[in-house]
Chain A
Amino acid sequence: MLRKRVLYAEDEYTNRVLLKFHFERHNIDVEVAEDGTKALEMLKNNKYDLIILDRYMPGMSGEEIVSELTSELSDLPPIIAISSDDSGKEKLINSGFAEILIKPVRKDKYDEIIKRYLS
């Protein structure tokens, strides 16, 4: 079976390693982008089964990436936002995010996401 592939855009170190660790335990490949611009470039050149975007990043925010993506690409996988607060949650959902995760994200939540979107 083809391994699932996830793109995770995040500028903070522990979030990156933790998500990668929890996902890789389920044999899911996680490719990491450390800022928004790089994430967008990777998204345009590769196919992923799930996209996880930090809401605030240097370069480009998660929201900006989504609006760029939805205007340029049609066949997109589910996109999840990770944020430290849930302000403007309705707006995020309406703009095309499937879900908002609030930091700190714990193991159970990661497992839930994997179960919901990648199995």
Chain B
Amino acid sequence: MDKKSNKSRSSFDEKKYSSESFDSVVSALEEAKISADYLDNVLNSVYDPIIVTDNKRNIKTINRAVLELLGYENEKELIGRPLDEIAFGTESKKGNRHLFRPETFEQLVLNGYIKEYSAIYKTKAGDKVPVSFSSRMLKNKRGAFAGLVCVARDMREHNALQSQLAQSLKLAAIGTMSAGIAHELKNPLAVVIGKTEILSSKLAEEIFEDKSLANDLETILFCSERMVAIIDHMRVFSRESKDNDWKLVNVLEIIDKSFILLEERLEKTNIKLIKEVPGKVPEISGDGNMLISVFQNLITNSIDAFKGVSDKKEKYIRMSVSLKERKYVEIVFEDNAQGMTKEVMSNIFNPFFTTKDMGEGTGLGLSIIYGIIEDHRGTIEVSSKLGGGTTFTVRFPAAKKTLFKSPVEQVVFTSKSKNKNEKKLKILLVEDYPPIQEMIMEHLHKDYNLVLAKDGRCAVSMASKTKFDLIITDINMPVMNGIEATKLIRKEGALNSCVPIIVMSANTDDGDIKKYLKLGINDTLAKPIYKKKLLSAIAKNIGLKYTSVEHNSGDETCVESPPDKDSPMDYRVFLEELGSEEVALSILKGYITSVEEQLLTIKNAILKGDHILVHREAHSIKGGAGNVFANDLMDAAKELEYSAKQGKLEDGTAFLEKLSSEFEIFRHYVNNELLEKLGDVT
């Protein structure tokens, strides 16, 4: 009895319980159904096509707009299929049009989404629909990738309008640009006409003496070539590149050419050009004319940015070329003009964005530059501060096969009728710009024995062999500028250490003259150069002996950058990252100890032919070197790592030797420069 009632009670409870839970299940289901229906409804009401995938990028859910856009009738036709079967990227690499380029995927992973990315959807009939594609990553609880939600907007109509607009803007821009080109053409054209007039009058008077005829013709040729170059830039503007213009080019030459057309403008606007270029850099592969345009555009932008900057301020554009990480040729253009705001900076590479007045700039410059640099597999970066100047850093990969041009090219003119003029005083003219060379030659060749060097390096080399009575030098020249050359010529005990040196300069304020005197220069000659001025400056200085104004002069150079210490690591940056000298040094010490062991391991592994172990240890040394900003060491480790990865150990010993010697330099630096210093402090 007891048992029975017990049982019935319990069964009653169970029933009650189960009916309650049944009710709640029903209501939960209803709610879930309602919300599923509701969600479906919302999804299908969205105008833009939405596709949701799983983590393998297979289509899981779509809305009605997808069916409409792609011409499918039933969603079953699409569900389960890979997204990549209907969605593609716009860039084609050897026929592959992957939806995501590696850098796009990178962005997706980094930010969790990509926005308004150009993609192509393929319809059932095989037609291509350009879409603006946005996608967000779905993540599961632990942050792992669970799928993508993709929204695409049909861009057909928008694109059609856009291309019409671009076309009309481009036409307008070409108009403005032609005016600029016409202006640029006028100068060389004037020279051509002038010289031709002189020639014809000389011909009429039958004056055929010395080289002047040939020289005049050369000038005409030079100016004509310059005009051709200007016209060539129009082609760049339309960006129709010819493949046969693609070759190995020397950046230094390109830069020189870029400046030829702008020298006058720089001088007129009183902007000092500071060139810091090495004797040689690896060549890069590219289209010389396009690259000239890139550099000219950057320089022109800088010049324009000086508008409104007071003339009292010393205005400069500093251009430097260097090899970075042994594989990039880096060209930096830095000015101290007005700079720009963050907002402007973020827009400068957009087509048609300009800060110049209506009709002055097309706004296409930097966007074209960006495109050209991309075509060259290069990069461009900008940093700027309003009021603080702007720096553009352009990098190109160095060509694998690097051919070096001979660094010294000499051109020697000596006047004719030697016997008669043996006692003529000898003057070295250092000048890179042919028209000025020619003009000075014309002024001086009758009275002096004139030798020409086309840049500072040539001058130094000539001055080491021949004794001159006077040197006249330009300041800004390729390869080596006049100031650097002067320093070398003035070296104690050198053949021409006391020769009077005159610089031709656009800046001849009192301050400048004092500065030049300190640098070993006797006198300055203001540009533009006239015959009278030139002769009187020569007369004033010839026969003088240079005696240094100050001992230890040369430490206050305005042209040279602070000497780049060839330290094997960038300790400053490393320290900055850590914020603690103690930690930095202890990491360096620990790293040295571990590399010492690893080098032994590698040595033994090479003997045993264990390339896997060599690879691992070299890889690890490389990683550490990267962490402590020791680039040379990193490169050396990378070479060994690479050869071990190929399974090739024949060169292992040579690479190990190189790595060991880089490490030795590094260790020496850490022990003697850094730890020593700390020893002094504590």
Contacts and interface: CB of A to CB of B under 8 A. Distances in A.
Interface in B134-177: 139, 142-145
A12 B616 CA distance: 10
Given A17-B590, A21-B578, A93 B619 contact: no
Interface in B372-397: none
B652 interface: no
A89 interface: yes
Contact of A93 (B109, B583, B590): B109
Interface centre among B145, B623, B626, by most chain A C-beta atoms within 10 angstroms, is: B623
Contacts of A12: 620, 623-624
A84 B638 CA distance: 11
B624 A96 contact: no
A94 B55 contact: yes
Given A14-B623, A56-B619, A106-B577, A98 B139 contact: yes
Interface string B389-412: 000000000000000000000000
Given A14-B587, A106-B577, A58 B616 contact: yes
Q: For chain B, give the interface size range.
A: 20 to 34
A76 B591 contact: no
A32 to B, nearest CB: 13
A11 B624 CA distance: 11
Interface in B613-636: 616, 619-620, 622-624, 626-628
A92 B436 CA distance: 63
A62 B619 CA distance: 16
Contact of A98 (B143, B578, B620, B623): B143
Contacts of B109: 89, 93, 99-100
Nearest to A76: B142
A103 B626 contact: yes
B590 A117 contact: no
Interface string A97-119: 11110011111000000000100
Interface in B573-598: 577-578, 583, 587, 590-591, 594
Contacts, number: 79
A76 B489 CA distance: 71
A58 B577 CA distance: 29
A76 to B, nearest CB: 5
A108 to B, nearest CB: 9
Contacts of A105: 627
Nearest to B597: A13
B679 interface: no
Contacts of A15: 623-624, 627
B102 interface: yes
B356 interface: no
A64 interface: no
Interface string B40-56: 00000000000000011
B106 interface: yes
Contacts of B139: 98
Nearest to A13: B594
Contacts of A77: 142-143
A90 B101 CA distance: 11
B583 A14 contact: no
B105 interface: yes
A75 B622 CA distance: 35
A117 B144 CA distance: 12
Contacts of B144: 78-79, 96-98
A50 to B, nearest CB: 9
Give me the 5 closest cross-chain CB pairs, A-B, nearest first: A78-B143, A104-B626, A98-B143, A14-B624, A13-B594
Given A13-B624, A84-B623, A97-B144, 20 more contacts: A13-B590, A14-B591, A14-B628, A15-B627, A21-B578, A77-B143, A78-B144, A79-B144, A84-B619, A89-B102, A89-B109, A90-B100, A94-B56, A94-B145, A96-B145, A98-B142, A98-B144, A100-B109, A104-B626, A105-B627
